[in-house]
Amino acid sequence: MMTFPNVQSASAALFLTFTLAGAAPAEHLPEPHGPVILTVEGTIARTNGEGRARLDLQMLRDIGETTITTDTIWTAGTSEFTGVALDDLLDYLGAEGQEIDARAINDYAVTVPIADAVEGGPILAYAMDGKTMSRRDKGPLWLIYPYASSSTYRTEVIYARSIWQLDRMTVLD
């Protein structure tokens, strides 16, 4: 009767490891050395010029790595996504606000509530199955929720928020 893939019955294991960055609340972020893959604006405490936080891959890696193992409706099978947890990133940037306006390279835009940024919540994945994701593989950043961990992460709203080819975020009050 149902032709949809039954996510609920998938017994995907979820591994969540994450390391908190012992980040010092420095006023200024260091300058990025590599290509900037994410620009964060809005009500954030830490920036590296023009009220914006420009971050390269190494900087994101330095914040702390979090891994989510899950299946998604857009990929085949179960994959291991590695990235920075959204809450870690927001903490790192000293973000204060209610929601995030997230935009993709193709100007796809979604609004993600700050409330989503919890421990065990979404990450900004930069690697899938250990490989850094290119633009053709939905890189450089993909907001991945731990879909397999709970049915609350398997709703259309969450799927819609799972923005890929993310490059800009604005933290809003």
Partner 1 sequence: MSRRNRFLRGGRAIFFGVALICMVAIGFLAVEIVRDLRLLNSANSDNVQWTLSQAEVEFLEMRHALDTARRQPEPDLDRLIEEFDIFYSRISTLETGALYESLRDLPEFAEPMQRIRRTLDDLVPLIDGPRAELAAGLPRIESAFGQSRADLRDLATSGLYHFARQSDFQRISVAVTLMRLGLLTAVLVMVLIFLLRHAQNASRQTERRGHELAAAYSRLNTILDTSLDAVLVADLSGKIQQFNPAAERIFKYDAQQVVGRNIGGLIVPDHLRDAHEAGMARMRAGGERRVVGRGRVRLDAMRSTGEVFPAELALETARTGSEEIIVGFLRDISHRVSSENELVEARDKALAGEKAKADFLAMMTHEIRTPLNGVLGNLSLLEETDLTPAQARYVHNMAVSGKLLMSHVDAVLDIARFESGATALRAEVVDPGRLVQDIIDSQTSAAEANGNTLDWAWTGAPADWIRVDASRLQQVLVNLIGNAIKFTRDGHVQVEIEQVKPLDQPGAEAGLWLEIRIIDTGIGIAEADLDRVFEDFQTSGCTQDKGLPGTGLGLGIARRFVRAMQGEIGAESTLGEGSVFWLRLPVRAARAPHNADRTGTGCAPAGPCSILLVEDNEINLDLARDMLSLMGHDVSVARNGQEAVVAAGARCFDLILMDIRMPVMDGLAATRAIRDGQGPNRDAPIVALSANVLPEAKDRFIAGGMSDFLGKPLMKKELAQVIARFCSDATLAEGAPRDPAVDDPLAALKARYLDETCALFDWLATMPDDWSEIADRAHRIAGSAAAFGQADLRMALLSVETTAEAEDAAALAQAVSQARRAWETAPDPSVA
The residue type at 91: D
Q: Residue 4 or 25: which CB sits closer to partner 1?
A: 4
CB of 61 to partner 1, least distance (A): 22
Q: Residue 88 or 162: which CB sits closer to partner 1?
A: 162
**Distance set, CA 143 to CA 14, 77, 149 (Å):** 16, 18, 16
Query: Could you list the residues that contact partner 1 (CB under 8 A)?
Result: 1-8, 71-76, 105-106, 134-138, 151, 154-156, 159-160, 164-165
Closest CA to 63 of 87, 39, 36: 87
Query: Residue 69: CB partners within 8 Å, gap ≥ 6?
Result: 12, 13, 14, 15, 78, 79, 80, 81, 148
CB of 114 to partner 1, least distance (A): 23
Q: Residue 28 or 135: which CB sits closer to partner 1?
A: 135
CB of 79 to partner 1, least distance (A): 10
CB of 88 to partner 1, least distance (A): 26
Q: Residue 3 or 11: which CB sits closer to partner 1?
A: 3
Number of H helices, E strands in the chain: 3, 11
Q: Residue 46 or 168: which CB sits closer to partner 1?
A: 168
CB of 12 to partner 1, least distance (A): 11
Q: Are strands 166-172 and 99-104 parallel, antiparallel or unpaired?
A: antiparallel
Q: How many Cα atoms sit within 13 Å of 95 on the Cβ side? A: 27
